[in-house]
Amino acid sequence: MTITEDAPGHVGSRRLRKEDPALLTGEAKFIDDLALPGAIWVGMVRSTEAHANIVGIDGSAALAIDGVNEVLSGEDLAPLWGEGALPCAWPVTPDMKNPAHLPVARGTAKYVGDAVAVVLADSRYAAADGAAAVVVDYEPLPAVVEIEDAVADGAPLVHADLDSNECYTWGLWGDNAPAIDAAFAEAAHVVSERYLQQRLIPAPMEPRGCAAVPSPAGGELTLYSATQIPHILKVMTAVVLGIPENKLRVVAPSVGGGFGCKLNVYAEEILCSALAMQRGAPVRWTEGRAEAAVSTIQGRGQVQHIELAADADGKVTAVRVKLLADMGAYLQLVTPGVPLLGGFLYHGCYDIPNYMFECTSVFTNRTPTDAYRGAGRPEATYAVERAMDSLAVSVGVSPEEIRARNFIGADAFPYTSAAGLIFDSGDYQTVLDKAVALADVDGRRSDQAQRRASGSSKRIGVGFSSYVEMCGLAPSRVLASLDYGAGGWEAATVRISPTCKVQVVTGSTPHGQGHETCWSMIVADQLGVDPDDVEVLHSDTAVSPTGLDTYGSRSLAVGGTAVYMATEKVIDKARAIAAHQLEASEDDLEFSGGVFRVRGTPEAEVPLAGIAFAAFTAHDLPDGMEPNLEAHVTYDPPNFTFPNGTHIAVVEVDTDTGDVDLIDYVAVDDCGVQINPLVVEGQVHGGILQGAAQALYEDAVYNSDGQLVSANLGDYLVPSAAEAPRFRLDSHVTPSPTNPMGVKGVGEAGTIAAAPAVINAVVDALRDLGVTDVDMPASPQTVWRAIADAQGGAS
């Protein structure tokens, strides 16, 4: 049985999300809604210096505030965790530097936002007042702020006990270096570009928060956290604090988005857990929005050098990439691995035989970076898609033609890439052709030409971005080869109750995506029940003990596949019972619409409901069979999945002001089989806007002292619906052969594709004025200056 042939089913329909009524009516409970009478509230005192010795901490003014009970320094708290540091699960090289990262700093503060002391209070208000009143005496040290400064001669050291700011260097080229050199030596066209990936501040609707609730009598601890990863958090908290895993439960309540920033183990989670165990009382903390800007991980932060070698026709023969990546002051859970996730994809969706990638990662006195929607892949796509446009100009062909000349052919799958991945399926040219038609590229180009000819100050630009990404993280053995500290499987349990209702327990951890809806649709089609008869349980390690959670667009391809397979297992068991009841051979049974029938004997049938009840009573089951209909599956994917697509952005640039208006946006994506197109479109819309946000709006700006100057949502410009372009979407489905449903994943695709499409469009609009590059974000001022510079000085 495959999903696609089980029509007329629910899969493929635009079913409204079952999650939404509770969210829209305020019934959903988030971390801060938790009522915990008598809880100790934590206020974090955060460094206001980028790099400084902590000379003294004076809590007297704080302690004078009603409701403030204690002020604790990193020294005071040290016994709670000793040398136990916040975990980094991805030591990408054996000699990677991983300086001890304590939940509250001792001795030296290493970035603005670094926790230096903690206030314990009776209420959140008192905790905030107390934290504001603690006086910290700093002895400032020289700070390393910008990435390239970290590796400059004589750079100050972020970590005095290391001999440089280099964290690691990781490369991917095998014995290919001579061939690459030869390709560049023989090339008719060489493109060499330097791009900047500014730091981004993830801004989910709900900031972070956690609450640790002990049961002093039994010694158990329940940790509630606004996290994407309750399962991983549980293991890590147990390891860091030495809490026996059987005494620890982690619950993620409703979580208001994450985009990767809640894929982590944070200081506050460890701190609240340790204090709750020590005090025998609930301990909680809720993050403020401005606090989040410095205390939650940031995304991106790279300086990229990319070179393409091509023959006279523009066929690319080699790509060579050198990255400098900003880790920030410390390594968080997967910080060092993020550039590697892009490291396999700097050849884009092109058939390029020679590949070299090298990344040097550095420490700076800034908030740690880590996974942010797309994690490495938006950066890779940006570099190669921008460089392909430069190559098109050099060769003298259109952006779509340079792509067509280099695409991996539809007949080449499974395709082994020069970076060593096996791409599952795709038809990149068809996808691009659809996008070109939908965007009316010809019409836009003639408008562009007309406006140029008439000297209009409103220029039109058309920008392409063709991408392929890897998701469905991940085959455990591949993760082992990359030195990642865990596997990539996912678990699911499917149970059918006596009244034939279905309970799905998933190890995926939704935080806005719509898993409950989609898992219900999948299972409903398989079992022939209504999706509303399926409940989906998740996000609580007491209910769903086994799982690896939600990130990297992995939920459907890995977690959804596990659900699908567990359901198949349940059906197999039900089939055995049906065969027993109908006195037929299992091979003669067919199952559809929730009914088992004996082939050729239509009147011999039994509904699943009957079997469910029989499995429950267990009065008459085949010999040796266990009662109840229930199955558990842990699925380790044999490969990644490789969603792909072409996005086209159309912009109008006002050359008088530099203002960029995103007037049209076309996206044709191949995310494999779609379970619910409504959910897919939601992901694509949000993803595109998040990518366009990097291109046009968002920028974590630090001054030379290492102060974050865009720390609030007035200065850090997260776009709203009013800034969203007109989204015009289409899709092309090449089912992934990797999993039984043929699904790939779509959580990050929009973000991966959008930034280069938008910037390529801006550059396209201004190329006749001499503009060849515009930094992100392409703010009006930046664009206006780029024009002025290209025209020979500001006006």
Partner 1 sequence: MIPAAFDYEVAESADHAISLLGEHGDDAKLLAGGHSLIPMMRYRLATPSVLVDVGRLDDLRYIRTGNGTVSIGALTRHSELEHSAALAEACPMLASVAALVGDPAVRHRGTLGGTIAHADPASDLPAAVLALGGTIVAQGPGGSREIAATDFFTGYFESVLADDEMITEVRVPAGSGGWNYQKFNRRAQDWAIVGVAVAGGGSGVSLVNMGSTPIRASGVEAALAGGASAAEAAAAAADGLDPPDDLNADAEYRSHLARVLTERALNAAGVA
**Minimum separation from the CB atom of position 468 to partner 1 (A):** 32
Contact of 370 with 261, CB cutoff 8 Å:
yes
Of residues 680-719, those binding partner 1 (CB under 8 A): 696-697, 699, 701, 709-710, 712, 714-715, 717, 719
Write the interaction track for partner 1 spanning residues 726-765; mark x where CB under 8 A is met and - where it is not: ----------------------------------------
Burial-class residue 644 by CB neighbours within 10 Å (0-12, 13-18, 19+).
Answer: buried
Q: And the tokens for 653? A: 């640039």
Q: And the tokens for 783? A: 């664009």
Contact of 254 with 23, CB cutoff 8 Å:
yes
Maximum CA extent, the chain: 90
Closest of 294, 293, 297, 285 to residue 128, by C-alpha: 285
Q: Which is nearer to partner 1, 389 or 699 (CB)?
A: 699
**Minimum separation from the CB atom of position 338 to partner 1 (A):** 26
**Minimum separation from the CB atom of position 684 to partner 1 (A):** 22
473 C-beta neighbours (distance < 10 Å), count? 23
The CA distance from 731 to 434, in Å, is 9
Write the interaction track for partner 1 spanning residues 648-677; mark x where CB under 8 A is met and - where it is not: --------xx-x------------------
Q: What residue spans of 498-635 are helical by DSSP H?
A: 515-527, 561-582, 608-617
Handedness of CA 35, 41, 47, 52 (dihedral sign): negative
Q: Which is nearer to partner 1, 714 or 792 (CB)?
A: 714
Q: And the tokens for 530? A: 């209504």
The CA distance from 261 to 372, in Å, is 6
Q: Which is nearer to partner 1, 617 or 657 (CB)?
A: 657
15 C-beta neighbours (distance < 10 Å), count? 20
785 binds partner 1 (CB under 8 A): yes
Identify which range of 122-130, 152-160, 419-427, 530-538 contacts partner 1 by CB under 8 A: 122-130
Among 188, 613, 780, 790, binds partner 1 (CB under 8 A): 780
The CA distance from 697 to 723, in Å, is 10
The CA distance from 338 to 330, in Å, is 14
**Strands, E assignment, 352-417:** 354-363, 415-416
Q: Which is nearer to partner 1, 590 or 789 (CB)?
A: 789
Q: Which is nearer to partner 1, 319 or 688 (CB)?
A: 688
**Minimum separation from the CB atom of position 113 to partner 1 (A):** 14
Q: What radius of gyration, in Å, describes the C-alpha atoms of the chain?
A: 28
Contact of 569 with 633, CB cutoff 8 Å:
yes
Write the interaction track for partner 1 spanning residues 131-170; mark x where CB under 8 A is met and - where it is not: -x--------------------------------------
Among 506, 779, 786, 787, binds partner 1 (CB under 8 A): 779
> What does 441-473 look like in DSSP terms, one character per residue?
HHHHHHHHHHHHHHT-SEEEEEEEEEEE--BS-
CA angle, 214 then 215 then 216, to 5°? 100
**Minimum separation from the CB atom of position 130 to partner 1 (A):** 11
The CA distance from 30 to 115, in Å, is 24
Among 178, 542, 722, 792, binds partner 1 (CB under 8 A): 722
Looking at the chain, the number of H-run helices and the number of E-run strands are 21, 28
**Minimum separation from the CB atom of position 717 to partner 1 (A):** 6
Q: Which is nearer to partner 1, 229 or 783 (CB)?
A: 783
Q: Which is nearer to partner 1, 291 or 652 (CB)?
A: 291
Among 129, 206, 490, 516, binds partner 1 (CB under 8 A): 129
Q: Total residues at the site for partner 1 (CB under 8 A)?
A: 33
682: part of which helix (H) or strand (E)? helix 677-696
First to last CA, the chain: 68
β-sheet bridge partners, residue 302: 197, 325
Identify which range of 185-193, 230-238, 310-318, 779-787 contacts partner 1 by CB under 8 A: 779-787
The CA distance from 173 to 234, in Å, is 37
Q: Which is nearer to partner 1, 59 or 658 (CB)?
A: 658
Among 24, 205, 312, 794, binds partner 1 (CB under 8 A): 794
**Minimum separation from the CB atom of position 701 to partner 1 (A):** 6
Identify which range of 50-58, 243-251, 540-548, 773-781 contacts partner 1 by CB under 8 A: 773-781
**Minimum separation from the CB atom of position 206 to partner 1 (A):** 13
Secondary structure letter of residue 367 according to DSSP = P
Write the interaction track for partner 1 spanning residues 258-297; mark x where CB under 8 A is met and - where it is not: ------------------------------xxxx------
41 binds partner 1 (CB under 8 A): no
- Which residues lie near partner 1 (CB under 8 A)? 124-125, 128-129, 132, 288-291, 656-657, 659, 696-697, 699, 701, 709-710, 712, 714-715, 717, 719-720, 722-723, 779-781, 784-785, 794-795
